Amino acid sequence: MEQKRKAGTEPNTEMTMQGNIKDGGQKRQRRAPNSPDKCPRLPPEIWKRILEYYFNFPKEIHSKRWPWFKSMRVDKLLHHDTMFLGSMALEAVYSNTTIVVEPIRNTYAVSILRTGNQLGIVYPSAAARHWVRRLEFRFNIESKLQDEKNQGDWLSKLASGALGFQKLKLLRFDIEQRSRSYQRGGTLDFLRDIHSYLGRQLQFKTAVLEITVGHKCRSTHVHSPKAFNLCCDLHTEEIELISDMIGRQ
């Protein structure tokens, strides 16, 4: 029995998908399909297509759900560096999915930009940001007055390229239209505060720049350097504030 175990029948303790089948009176371990030493040897381009299909989601990945999604779908592939599945998995996840970043207040996230009790902004790690092609930033309207600095600083770093999102094809800003929030006035007051803090127009490097106004209508309005066309229920001052804040290189 000892000789048979040394021959390769020792249970695989690294993978959760395992089992035994009978073959000629001997027990043989069932192969774990995503085990690094059991995966079929395929060309990298085939593995890339498989991973793109595996990580093809009809909707976006929200920063709130990323810790769960990463632990359930991504982590087991990140450890397969010997077959380059780790880097290929990151590319498949980020290059084919819209990544939603929304300032929130929480304590569970590790990769978080937070000062004291201010808003935290969770976003992809430095190793993965250059794979992101579609990024959406949702302004936190119901924030405290001091939170504009946190959101404004993050947007300034995004525009300067300091965050590493260098290959964006789509950058979308989502602004909720509401008359009032529980902290103060609504969208107009928020835009005034953050516009005053920034003090200049931010130029973002992206192929397409979109502004989505209102969670109910979900109308998409494409912003170009020469025109800013909005058909939503916004005041003239709100349109001017957005135009002064956001531009495309």
Residue 54 within any structural domain of the chain: no
The pLDDT profile of the chain, 249 residues, written as one tens digit per residue, is 444 444 444 333 222 222 232 334 444 444 444 444 456 677 878 888 888 887 777 678 887 777 777 777 677 666 655 556 767 877 888 888 889 998 876 544 444 444 445 567 878 888 788 989 999 998 887 655 566 788 888 999 999 999 999 999 999 888 876 655 545 567 777 888 888 888 888 899 999 888 877 644 444 444 444 333 343 445 566 777 777 788 877
What radius of gyration, in Å, describes the C-alpha atoms of the chain? Answer: 24
Specify whether the CB–CB gap between 39 and 82 falls below 8 A.
no
Whether the predicted model's global pTM rises above the 0.85 cut: no
Residue 30 within any structural domain of the chain: no
Looking at the structure of the chain, the number of domains it has is: 1
Residue 183 within any structural domain of the chain: yes
- Domain that includes residue 135, residue range: 96-248
